[in-house]
């Protein structure tokens, strides 16, 4: 970079001298422009920008990450890989990508958002183009709802204007005020431009526990029938993700308005995790902490967790959620 820059200045000054005096101003302007371009390049080299050096999808990377880091979610894993790859490879998508992730706590919804971010943005979750909102933390007061609305709209618009390939993660979607959900609907829709801004490159990810009980029911029935968990297919879980399920008071009305308009591209179910998956999470967590994975330690930790249903204790109540801190205690 520096060498190019010095060469550029040298050559430019030779040219300036050669064409004195007529072209001085023209070449001078050229030098200034050239310097500005070099300066901008150097800046982008060191600071995150919306360019391909910082924002580029790695399909293999996502596949490998899902395979090695997400446990017990063969259905979710496949849908996510397909959905994200399809969208990212589409040069001209007709709308933003909207994924709705459903399932019990600790089943990997946050992890999946993180893996997607890491394989699109070089800076992963720390990227200035990834925005995460947790309903109860960011929008806690009902009385402030009008402020939240205009703020959220400004943020989405401002950030997508800066970088069309922006990602917005909404956690605890089932606790989000319907008014707030309404205010983000236009960005999920098929408009080419809204006030001069196109949202078609953006990614929205909704996380919620809605449908979790029904998903668990399906997993339980498979097990009771002696069928392999890995044989569960998306179509077995789809009824658990339908409108009627979401109309329950607990999950709120948000789906109704989003489903009605087909604004969600993929509903992705996360299965409840069994003992053996908790073990896998534990082993992976130990490696991630720089420890040598120890089956005995992980086993001991996994046995202390709470499982449900009470009668046959199959699924971990907190999934893999608290494993990081639990392991600190056992190691
Ligand atoms: C994409 O991910 C794969 C697997 O993690 C990795 O080996 C490869 O270097 C990545 N490619 C780029 C361009 O980062
Ligand atoms: C982008 O979103 C963040 C919240 O994640 C907000 O603080 C910031 O002001 C937004 N930027 C613009 C330009 O709107």
Which residues lie closer than 8 Å to 102 by C-beta, 6 or more apart? 109, 208, 209, 210, 211, 212, 215, 241, 267, 268, 269, 270
pLDDT at 215: 93
Do 218 and 326 fall into the same domain? no
Q: Is the pTM of this model over 0.75?
A: yes
- What's the rounded Cα separation, in Å, for the pair 262 and 176? 19
Do 65 and 121 fall into the same domain? yes
Per cent of the chain over pLDDT 70 is 85
The shares of helix, strand and coil residues in the chain, as percent rounded to the nearest 5, are 55, 10, 35
Domain boundary residue, one of 243, 269, 295: 269
Do 320 and 252 fall into the same domain? no
> Which of 9-13, 61-65, 203-207 has the least mean pLDDT?
9-13
E-strand stretches of the chain:
97-103, 130-134, 167-171, 203-208, 266-270, 307-308, 315-316
Residues with CB under 6 A from ligand 2: 131, 154-155, 158-159, 162
**Domain span including residue 296:** 275-330
Do 103 and 228 fall into the same domain? yes
| pLDDT mean over 52-72 | 97
- What's the rounded Cα separation, in Å, for the pair 112 and 331? 27
Do 148 and 178 fall into the same domain? yes
Tokens 């606790």 found at: 175
Count other C-beta atoms under 10 Å from residue 91's C-beta.
5
Q: Residue 254 falls within a domain, yes or no?
A: yes
**Predicted confidence band at 9 (pLDDT cuts at 50, 70, 90)?**
very low
pLDDT at 182 over 90: no
Domain boundary residue, one of 220, 246, 269: 269
Q: Residue 222 falls within a domain, yes or no?
A: yes
Residue 57 CB less than 6 A away from ligand 1:
no
Residue 53 annotated as part of some ligand binding site = no
* Residue 94 CA neighbour count, 13 Å, CB half: 4
pLDDT at 314 over 60: yes
| pLDDT mean over 96-102 | 95
Beta pairing partners, 254:
none
Higher pLDDT pick, 11 / 162:
162
Residue 105 annotated as part of some ligand binding site = yes
- What's the rounded Cα separation, in Å, for the pair 242 and 69? 28
- The angle that helices 24-46 and 2-18 make with each other, rounded to 10 degrees, is 180
Nearest CA to ligand 1 atom 8: 61
| pLDDT mean over 193-199 | 94
- What's the rounded Cα separation, in Å, for the pair 168 and 299? 37
pLDDT at 37: 78
Q: Residue 53 falls within a domain, yes or no?
A: no
Residue 324 CB less than 6 A away from ligand 1:
no
Do 240 and 318 fall into the same domain? no
Q: Residue 250 falls within a domain, yes or no?
A: yes
| pLDDT mean over 152-159 | 97
pLDDT tens-digit series, residues 11-34: 444 444 444 555 556 656 666 777
Residue 61 CB less than 6 A away from ligand 1:
yes
Question: Dmax over Cα atoms in the chain, in whole Å?
Answer: 93
Q: How far is the CA of 163 from the centre of ligand 1 (A)?
A: 23
14-to-3, 28, 188 alpha-carbon distances in Å: 17, 12, 55
Arithmetic mean of pLDDT over the chain: 87
Residue 64 CB less than 6 A away from ligand 1:
yes
- What's the rounded Cα separation, in Å, for the pair 326 and 331? 9
Which segments of 144-246 does DSSP mark as H helices, in order? 145-162, 178-188, 212-224, 234-237, 243-246
Do 145 and 208 fall into the same domain? yes
| pLDDT mean over 205-234 | 93
Residue 231 annotated as part of some ligand binding site = no
| pLDDT mean over 202-224 | 93
**Predicted confidence band at 2 (pLDDT cuts at 50, 70, 90)?**
very low
Residue 62: nearest ligand to its CA? 1
Q: Residue 54 falls within a domain, yes or no?
A: no
pLDDT at 5: 46
Total domains in the chain come to: 3
Residue 104 annotated as part of some ligand binding site = yes
Which residues lie closer than 8 Å to 3 by C-beta, 6 or more apart? none
Residue 119: nearest ligand to its CA? 1
Which residues lie closer than 8 Å to 73 by C-beta, 6 or more apart? 107, 108, 112, 270, 271
Do 239 and 120 fall into the same domain? yes
State yes or no: cis peptide before 309, omega within 30 of 0: yes
Which residues lie closer than 8 Å to 138 by C-beta, 6 or more apart? 148
| pLDDT mean over 133-160 | 95
């Amino acid at each position: 970079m520096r060498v190019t820059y010095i060469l550029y200045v040298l050559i430019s000054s030779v040219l300036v001298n050669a064409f004195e005096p007529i072209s001085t101003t023209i070449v001078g302007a050229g030098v200034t422009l050239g310097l500005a371009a070099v300066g901008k390049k150097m800046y982008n080299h060191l600071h995150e920008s919306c360019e391909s050096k910082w924002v580029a999808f790695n399909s293999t990377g996502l596949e490998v990450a899902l395979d090695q880091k997400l446990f017990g979610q063969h259905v979710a894993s496949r849908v996510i890989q397909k959905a994200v790859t399809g969208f990212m490879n589409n040069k001209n998508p007709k709308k933003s990508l909207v994924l709705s992730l459903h399932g019990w706590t600790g089943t990997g919804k946050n992890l999946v958002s993180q893996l997607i971010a890491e394989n699109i943005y070089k800076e992963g979750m720390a990227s200035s183009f990834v925005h995460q909102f947790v309903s109860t933390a960011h929008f806690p007061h009902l009385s402030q709802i009008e402020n939240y609305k205009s703020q959220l709209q400004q943020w989405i618009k401002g950030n997508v204007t800066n970088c069309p390939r922006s990602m917005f993660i909404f956690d605890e979607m089932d606790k989000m005020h319907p008014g707030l959900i309404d205010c983000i609907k236009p960005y999920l829709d098929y408009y080419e431009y809204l006030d001069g801004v196109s949202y078609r490159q953006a990614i929205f990810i909704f996380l919620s526990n809605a449908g979790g009980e029904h998903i668990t029911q399906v997993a339980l029935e498979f097990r009771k029938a002696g069928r392999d968990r890995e044989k569960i297919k998306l179509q077995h879980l789809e009824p658990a993700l339908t409108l009627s399920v979401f109309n329950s008071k607990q999950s709120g009305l948000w789906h109704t308005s989003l489903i009605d308009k087909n604004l969600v591209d993929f509903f992705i179910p996360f299965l409840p995790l069994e003992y053996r998956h908790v073990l896998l999470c534990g082993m992976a967590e130990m490696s991630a902490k720089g420890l040598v994975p120890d089956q005995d330690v992980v086993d001991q930790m996994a046995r202390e967790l709470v499982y449900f249903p009470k009668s046959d204790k199959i699924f971990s109540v907190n999934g893999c959620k608290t494993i990081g801190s639990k392991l600190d205690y056992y190691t």
